[in-house]
Structure 1
């Protein structure tokens, strides 16, 4: 090999100081980007730099072995990867479980344990890809081991890459390895992967970020540099220096030029990956004229040496600190990742390096494989045992509130039925005019909280025996139905999860009043006639669902009243930071949609979107049971940012058959907005009401609706 790569067993294996420096740059981009996202928004591309480096080194080592011996020892290859990666990874996974137990809220324990199991089994990236399409997981706090997704991608790459090289070597002829055949084979992997990356990054950006198929081209790009190594070595010094310096500038600038709000990896990943390839290809031929001297500087190489351990440790410590102290400032975040260098250096010094350089493990690959198997088994067992020994028995969400007739049950009519709360009073502790009522003020302690914060995420209609979310199949709608199926008054609901959060209250009202209640709901999809974006991607399925619902409500089965609400969405084509434009566009779309229903003879009632908190109320209450005021959010921010309330007010203004219902004074009666009112946890996350608190608002909502219907 002419790029300074020799088999790892060789005593004369060359050392590439520039690559060690690239590792340092990559890990610093990642850790600083995680600690100071606003300062270094694209720091996550350091992972892509690692991918190219790994592809180059692994491919170069395998080709060197093929050229030297005519074969590849799969046992030796997998043994080297096992002793290099798995011991340190196992230690950090177990340590992450300990940090979870000590500092993270119980609501995260079960998911963290399964994340550890997936990480130990080299499949976390696929688990995260599935979760990225789950509406209820989209806003969840990131996993304490989320950074293991990139290791899963690399480990999957290591499983099949030597097999591909062997197949290509056989096709090219073992006696004389033809690098042209290797390049063709790599192109057959890289080009489809890049095309798929571009497509999926636009169509499904959540999964595209994590899945292996959108990242293979980055590893293959490094492999291609290894294949053409000899020719790159013969580049004129001036040309090689220009190439290497330009590549380094591309890598460094990508930390601030790559936009995390745009599709990634896709085209954006070309900047850091091509830059990395250019540095690797040109640095050695450039000699002193290139960046090899700067990248190979002693302190830079020292960071590169511990880059793997630093990458492993910084994220769990950062997440643990945020769970304990709340959102960290930039200086605090940088302090945490700086302190993570301590366990990183210790892990490198006493675990990673001794095992990697062990003569006994080098001479006996089977023993190294056993060490890797033990490490994997230990992490798997830790994740499974954490579920069984630490996670408490799962508590059921509180039962739904009960209905009780007033007077003689034999003669009581439906309209004489009263809603009686079987759980905590919640909003019932507030007066008729709740704004300013100190009974709703934030306090540090509550004698009891229902639902328990550890199970609050399941206190919603999505977890009822028959969940009521989008019910559409083959162009037909299947609404959920409640109340009296033969009732003389029919009420329809349409909207997203912020509509279904009111079902606990509306179900009680429908049963008390004898109404027919039909719910048309789809997660991440408001009732609107324009295309909107969710997680920065258009939702064409939402638009087609809306057409079906509008036709049903205006032509097929008109209700006596339509009840709608939704959270904030950005109309497709509006820039993420153009909030005012998005509100106006949203309001115009809602207004046109509501007017069409009203013109068909159905009045529309709009529940102004509920306030949005800055923190997950359930997790915050679990971590701060004696300091609940930490979970409060100032009222102005809660009412004006994040939610769809502003668009609702703009859209309803001036429409005679559209009526705005605002219950937010009973949700946030006092500044700041409290997480617990009347013994009830108000939110199950940062923006969805618990079923318990929503039910406690039923009498207030019933008053508003009956006035409209009467």
Structure 2
């Protein structure tokens, strides 16, 4: 979110205050799960343009008055305005995290607090390669500080650039051309990187500079004169508001963003800003100047800072929040914002002693920055001392990869790879070959299968690609933000290689159709997707079966409502029973989809459908822990230590053999029953 720039009373504009309210309400609505506004996150882009407009306007006015720009005074104003509230929120969030987050999370997110305190968390997120829209981003209480870091970096560079123009005596026209050039180059790079490496396009300041530059261009005298004279200014304002609202209503986190899509809210904001220069009742000024918008606009900076930690922590404590509970979180956000606005923001911002000396404000900035970083660093060290054996076990279970990944990371092809590569395990030479084929859900079965291959003396070959299902069906990649064509090419080549090898058995495991449903926003598409899915499964299995191989199709594993490793770690830290992380079986497994898959496989010769759900669930519940082990390392990938204990039941179910040591399915209390899981 953009920081709030307070205009001098001489040119205060109510429409800009209203725009701030519109922007922050969009962001809050998105983060609070208002599905009718899937594009509310573009409110940040609205703020970026507003910041570019106001900062450029302020600096140009100062240049006109004094012939120069006082950088230290500018930085002092920004420090008084922004730092006290942000550091206050960071410290309170860290304190609350001690009671809510597990020690491992406290360690990780303390790093986020440190980088947020020093205004470079956007660079940390790039290095971490964290997608802002990824599910695991929902547990990072500091991720929203990325936009404040982008703002601070803009404030550091932009005044210095304008001062350089003053020193070389460049004219206003040259400044306009330079600003336009920055906008064009920055946008071109942003659009390109959105397709190539979205985190860089999203988080890196230079690739967001075009939005600030658009605001700066809107503030130039030429634009003001035109807007004041033009009778179409009111219409321009309404069109701008329409563009902003259209993105709120139609854009979603699945779209390639920012890229070309971000042009719409940015251009819409420019239109409203230009329209507001002509004080006309026919424009959007009257709407944006209404009291609720003005009041929310004044609080917008505090609202942005508080809303995300509130919803993150509330979601951890109440995973299945009701609508009323979300409204309670919203009310808490406003209460905290009002408190910090009146007790932290305004008192320090308007403190006469600080205003009287630029050095005092700069000193305050240094103290706050160092204090925030020091507390965050100390908190990370303190959290490390709270690791118990149980917490260490959970961390190890979550971090340990499957046997295949431990052997060679390239055994699971990455998103961009097209040429298949098989990896071999078990007996180096054998007249019996088994192929494991699929995505990461095939990978997590590799741990017991490799043990079985070593014991039984057969050769196990793996053909696996990240997020690439064995089903012949084009899917959408949320990471690439486009159709996953690399998967289609890899799959066909892999199938040709498998057929040429003529293995005795092919084991197929993949993420289920239920996860594809999550990727589409229009429920009317479900029927078509399910048809493609069923036809695709049939095509893949039939093609391999017709080549004379036995096919074993593994039913997909349960999908839990929360990340098991984090949920269990928090529960143990909070002295709660890990069973709070269990998921009802009816929610974790889709019986209708399983029935469809079972029927498809039943119609194909040499193919069997194997269901090992009882290794994870009893009749009513899918457990987070069994025999003291995490069952899953996230929501739907088997934890490697638990997978290692499944060799017995897997061998019985897949190969029809009994073993002495085998894991039994758990009863309602997490204890083992007498019967082992078998193929169905």
Distance change >3 Å, CA 646–CA 45, structure 1 → 2: farther
Aligned to 1:533: 476
1:522 Cα shift?
Answer: 2.5
1:38 to 29, 35, 47: 35
Summarize the alignment of residues 527-566 of structure 1 with structure 2, pairs less than 5 Å apart.
527-535=470-478, 536-555=481-500, 557-566=501-510
Residue 215 (str. 1) matches residue 215 (str. 2):
no
Please give the alpha-carbon distance, in whole angstroms, between the structure 1 residues aligned to 2:132 and 2:324. Answer: 32
1:42-81 correspondence to structure 2 within 5 Å: 42-81=39-78
The alignment status of 1:591 with 2:538, answered yes or no, reads yes
**1:594 and 1:123 mapped to 2: Cα distance?**
50
State the alpha-carbon separation in 2 of the partners of residues 648 and 658 from structure 1.
12
1:401-416 to structure 2, matched below 5 A, reads none
Q: Give the deviation of 1:561 after TM superposition.
A: 2.1
Q: 1:230 aligns with which of 224, 232, 238?
A: 224
8 Å contact 1:469–1:522 — kept in the other structure? no
TM-score normalised to structure 1 length: 0.82
Equivalenced residue count is: 644
Residues 527-580 of structure 1: CA deviation (Å, up to 9, x unaligned): 35554222153234334433443343233x443322221103659998764233
1:313 aligned to which of 306, 313, 329: 306
Confirm or deny: 8 A CA contact 2:413 2:464 kept in the other structure: no
Alpha-carbon offset, residue 636 of structure 1: 2.8
Paired residues of 2:306 and 2:333 also in contact (CA < 8 A): yes
Shift of 1:154: 1.4
Q: C-alpha deviations, 1:310-365, integer Å up to 9, x for none?
A: 21011111111111122322332122122122222222223222322234433433
List per-residue Cα deviations over 1:617-671 (Å, max 9, x = no partner): 2333333453444323332332219x98577546534221332221113322311
Which residue of the partner structure matches residue 281 of structure 1? 274
Structure 2 counterparts to residues 662-677 of structure 1, below 5 A: 662-677=611-626
After TM superposition, list the pairs within 5 Å mapping 1:150-299 onto structure 2.
Answer: 150-169=147-166, 173-174=169-170, 177-178=171-172, 180-202=173-195, 204-205=197-198, 208-227=201-220, 228-236=222-230, 238-299=231-292
**Residues 12-64 of structure 1 deviation map (CA, whole Å, 9 limit, x = unaligned):** 64322221222122222222332242243222222122111111111111211
CA deviation after TM superposition for structure 1 residue 521, in Å: 2.5
Shift of the 609–683 alpha-carbon distance from structure 1 to 2, 3 Å rule, reads: same
RMSD (Å) for aligned C-alpha atoms: 3.5
| 8 Å contact from structure 2 (residues 418, 487) kept in 1 | no
Which of the numbers 537, 557, 565 marks the counterpart of 1:610? Answer: 557
Contact 2:133–2:253 (CA under 8 A) maintained in structure 1: no
Answering whether residue 471 of structure 2 is matched by residue 522 of structure 1, we say no
Decide which moves more: 512-521 or 571-580: 571-580
* Greater alpha carbon shift after TM alignment, 305-314 vs 364-373: 364-373
Within 2, Cα distance between the matches of 1:451 and 1:609? 28
Give SS of 1:486's match.
coil
* Whole-Å separation in 2 of the counterparts to 1:300 and 1:656: 66
Unaligned runs of 5+ in 1: 1-5, 397-448
Instruction: Quote the Cα distance in structure 1 between the aligned partners of 2:430 and 2:205.
Output: 54
Work out the CA distance in 1 between the residues paired with 2:404 and 2:76: 46
Equivalent-residue separation in structure 2 for 1:699 and 1:112 (angstroms): 39
Q: Partners in 1 of 2:388 and 2:410 — Cα distance?
A: 24
Aligned residue among 624, 630, 638 for 2:580: 630
Q: Note closer, same or farther for the CA distance 1:225–1:140 as it changes in structure 2 (3 Å cut).
A: closer
Distance in structure 1 (CA, Å) of the matches to 2:571 and 2:518:
39
* SS of the residue 2:253 aligns to: coil
Residues 119 and 152 in structure 2, CA contact (< 8 A), matched pair in contact too: yes
Change (3 A) 1:476 1:383: same
Asked if structure 2 preserves the Cα contact closer than 8 Å seen for 1:562 and 1:602, the reply is yes
Corresponding residue SS for 2:77: helix
Q: Which residue of 1 aligns with 2:438?
A: 495
Alpha-carbon separation, structure 2, partners of 1:267 and 1:94 = 37
Q: Structure 1's 677 and 580: CA in aligned 2 closer, same or farther, altered over 3 A?
A: farther
Query: Which residue matches 1:639?
Result: 589
2:666 maps to none
| In structure 2, distance between residues paired with 1:71 and 1:607 | 71
Alignment of 1:399-478 (within 5 A): 452-461=393-402, 465-468=406-409, 470=411, 478=421
Alpha-carbon shift at residue 594 of structure 1 (Å): 3.5
Distance 1:107 1:208 in 2: 29
**Which residue of structure 1 aligns with residue 99 of structure 2?**
102
Q: Could you tell me how far apart the structure 1 residues matched to 2:365 and 2:68 are?
A: 24
In 2: Cα distance, 1:571 partner to 1:141 partner: 20
Using the alignment, how far apart are the partners of 1:689 and 1:565 within structure 2? 13
Q: How far apart in 1 are the matches of 2:653 and 2:519?
A: 36
For structure 2, list consecutive stretches of 5 or more residues without a partner in the other structure: 659-680
Counterpart of 1:328 in 2: which secondary structure?
coil
Structure 2 vs 1, CA of residues 646 and 119 (structure 1 numbering), >3 Å: closer, same or farther?
farther
Q: Where do residues 131-142 of structure 1 align in structure 2 (5 Å cutoff)?
A: 131=128, 139=136, 141-142=138-139
Change (3 A) 1:306 1:192: same
TM-superposed CA distance for 1:455, in Å, is: 4.4
Give, in angstroms, the shift of residue 687 of structure 1: 0.9
Which of 355, 369, 390 lines up with 2:362 in the alignment? 369
